[in-house]
Amino acid sequence: MSKPVPCFDDLLVRVDQQFPSAWEKGACLTAEQAEQLQTISDAASQTASLLTSGIAAMGELLAWVGTTGEISSGSLTSTGWLIQHLADTAGRLHEESQNAEYKLHSLPRSAPQKPTSRNRGAGGAA
C-alpha cells in the first residue's frame, strides 16, 4: 500500500492535538500557549475569510466564462481542483480558529501552583 501524498492541510497546526484539552483534569495554558492560540485564532480566521471571498470570486469568474465559453477544459479542471482544495483549507482554518478560541476561553491561563506547607521553618517546625 502506498503512502498518501502530503497536502497543504498537513502543514496546518492541529490545535486539538497540540494544546491541552479542556477535558483533562488540571489542564491549563501557559502565557506562551495562550498567546500562540490567540495568534492561531486570528490568523486562521483572517485567512479563512480571504480564502472564502477568493473562492466566491473564482466561482463568479467561472460562471461568467461558462456563459461565453472561453476557457480550455484543462484550465477549467485545474480551477475546479484549486477551488476544492481552497474550500477544504478554508474549512480546516475555520475549525482550527474555533478550537483555539474554545481553548482560550475554557482553560485557565497558568499552571496550578503546588500547595505549600504552612510550616516553613527548618525541619517543618512552625
**Which pLDDT does position 67 carry in this prediction?**
84
Q: How far apart are CA 73 and CA 111, in angstroms?
A: 57
pTM of the predicted protein model: 0.59
Q: pLDDT digits over 46-58, tens only? A: 888 887 887 888 8
How is the chain split into domains, by residue range?
72-108
The answer to whether 39 and 119 are in contact (CB under 8 A) is no
Q: pLDDT digits over 69-93, tens only? A: 777 777 777 777 788 878 888 888 8
